[in-house]
Amino acid sequence: MHRACKKGINRGDEVKIFVTINGGQRNIDIEADEMLLDMLRKIGLVSVKRACDTGSCGVCTVLLDGYPIPSCSYYAAKAEGHNITTIEGVQKEAIEIAEFLVSEGVEQCGYCSPGFALTILGMTKELQNPTEDDIKHYLVGNLCRCSGYVGHLRAINKYLEVKR
């Protein structure tokens, strides 16, 4: 069993966890059933958005030790000892992606954009020279209702081209 969960049982509903968030180490009081999304918003990281509540849409994506996860469906207690990254913590890397998205006009309402940009960052770390199918497969969990997706691909292809 995870260390944080043991602590949670010992202390009733209130739990203190130790996490690294955007490079800074913190002790945070959480409730035992609190989701990571709620914890992050509570401490002011409002770039993390709630959208579907069921881990289906990717809007609430954050990086856990560098890998994208849906924070709405991840218990905060499970983050004990891990590295959490939100877009506030990777402004320099994310702005490179963001500039390609805005130059296609494809961010539209922007609500899914922080989670989407983080997933693209995760992808660039995990996949070398991804094909179009690889890109779609990696990003399939990030839904977007505004853009129709094809503009995303135009932006990502240009971003990857420049990175190469």
Partner 1 sequence: MKEVNKSVTKADGLGLIMGAPAYTNDLAMNNALVIKVLRSPHHFAKIIDINTEKAFNMPGVECVLTYKDVPRNIVTRAGQGYPEPSPHDKFILDEYVRYIGDEVAVVAAITEKIALQALELIEVEYEVLEPVLDFENAENNTSMVHPEPECHSMFPMGFEPAKNIACTYEMNVGNIQEALRKCDVVVKGKYYTKAQAHVAMEPQSSFAHIDIQGRLNIISSTQTPFHMRRIIAEAFGMTAGKIRVIKPRVGGAYGGKQAIHGEFLVAAVTLKTRKPSKLIYTRKEVFEATYCRHAMRLDVTLGSDKDGNLKAIDMQILSDTGAYGEHALTVFMVAASKTLPLYNKVDSVHFSGKVMYTNHTPAGAFRGYGAVQGNFALESSMDELAEKLGMDPIKLREKNMIVQGETSPIFKIMGEGGEGIEMSIESCKLDYCIRRGTELMRWKYKYPRNQIDKNTVRGVGMAIAMQGSGIPYMDMGSAILKLNDEGFFNLLVGATDIGTGSDTILAQIAAETLGVDTQKIIVHSSDTDLTPFDCGAYASSTTYISGHSVKKTAEKMKEMIEEEGAKRLDSLQNQVVFDGKFIKSLETKEKISLKELCEQLYYKYDQKQLIASSSYVGTKSPPPYMAGFAEVEVDLETGKIKLLDYVGIVDCGTTINPNLAKIQVEGGLVQGIGMALFEDVKYSASGRLLTNSLMQYTIPTRKEINKITVEFAESYEPTGPYGAKSVGEIGIDTPPAAIANAIYNATGVRIRTLPITPEKILMALKGDASV
120 touches partner 1 (CB under 8 A): no
Whichever of 5 and 93 has its CB closer to partner 1, that residue is 93
Which residue stretch of 3-11, 63-71, 73-81, 94-102 sits at the interface with partner 1 (rule: CB under 8 A)? Answer: 94-102
46 touches partner 1 (CB under 8 A): yes
57 touches partner 1 (CB under 8 A): yes
Angstrom distance (rounded) from CA 120 to CA 130: 11
Choose, by CB under 8 A, the member of 21, 28, 77, 98 that binds partner 1: 98
Choose, by CB under 8 A, the member of 17, 28, 30, 59 that binds partner 1: 59
85 touches partner 1 (CB under 8 A): no
Give me the residues that bind partner 1 (CB under 8 A), please.
31, 45-54, 56-57, 59, 86-88, 91, 94-95, 97-99, 101-114, 117, 136-137, 139-140, 142-153
